[in-house]
Amino acid sequence: MDVLARNNVQISGNPSGTPMIFAHGFGCDQNMWRFVAPAFEEDHRVVLFDHVGYGSSDLASHSAERHSTLDGYARDLLEICRELGLERAVFVGHSVAAMIGVLAEIEEPERFERLVLVGPSPCYIDDGDYVGGFSRQDIDELLESLDSNYLGWSGAMAPVIMGNPDRPELGEELTNSFCRTDPAIARQFARATFLSDNRADLPRVRARTLVLQCSEDVIAPPQVGEYVHRMIPGSELVLMKATGHCPNLSAPEETVAAIRSFLRG
């Protein structure tokens, strides 16, 4: 299948501008960027896409083997870049997509000049002095709950992930997004996400990198953002006032301002 159709690639903005690619996190689709991406269309060729299995991507293109690890999603991203002839692009990845972008940049560094990592986590499980935010038992129980009752898990977890309990409509949107996903695909992507460990990859990043860390985040706590910042050479860290794991929805103005400041720097 055509790569652009497979990932429901949508292009807007300035055709002669620097390419800017937005990648969504687990359980979501490109609609999560609707309050952020348009702010960059005047100066950038904006590229949005859905990971295979999400949004309006081609579900039949999902491969149990290829998409069992984040490397498979990084290959998808690079195929989009090759198809569009993208080089020296700005990549903006939310949550697990941040590490997908890291893997893609290491594989083909000429494709990416800058990385913006929004709520990144290279490893979700605590390990010695490393604080990932979860014990192995926590992750095993999370995956077991997801396996046994995906819709129930989505309804319980999405509002927690979103945070901002004073704005329940945000949690409801994330819940609905989770529930639209095929449970079998979601289960596999969850395992690829929560059992991943990309800590050793961080020092290999060569692109200029911005780490956007929310002040309260149950999925990627501040210690994780600080770790990513320390491990990626020359990276910048911005601790946002925003809370929750999805500032692209809960605090789009602050998200846009931080990215703009980084691009001007």
Residue 113 lies inside a defined structural domain of this protein: yes
CATH of the domain at 228: 3.40.50.1820
Residue-wise pLDDT tens digits, 203-223: 999 999 999 999 999 999 999
pLDDT band at 260 (very low <50, low <70, confident <90, very high): very high
Name the catalytic one among 94, 229, 245, 250.
245
Is 127 catalytic? The answer is no
Name the catalytic one among 217, 229, 235, 250.
217
Q: What is the pTM of this model?
A: 0.97
Residue 148 lies inside a defined structural domain of this protein: no
Residue 76 lies inside a defined structural domain of this protein: yes
User: What CA–CA distance (Å, rounded) separates 70 from 193?
Assistant: 7
The alpha-helical segments, DSSP class H, found in 116-264 are 136-148, 150-162, 168-179, 183-194, 222-231, 247-250, 252-264
The pairing of strands 44-48 and 10-13 is antiparallel
Residue 72 lies inside a defined structural domain of this protein: yes
Residue 241 lies inside a defined structural domain of this protein: yes
Residue 162 lies inside a defined structural domain of this protein: no
Residue 117 has pLDDT above 90, yes or no: yes
What is the span of the domain harbouring residue 116? Answer: 3-123+198-264
Is 245 catalytic? The answer is yes
Specify the number of domains making up the chain. Answer: 1
Residue 265 has pLDDT above 90, yes or no: no
The burial class, CB within 10 Å (0-12 / 13-18 / 19+), for 51 is buried
Residue 193 lies inside a defined structural domain of this protein: no
Residue 142 lies inside a defined structural domain of this protein: no
Residue-wise pLDDT tens digits, 60-98: 999 999 999 999 999 999 999 999 999 999 999 999 999
Name the catalytic one among 57, 67, 94, 95.
95
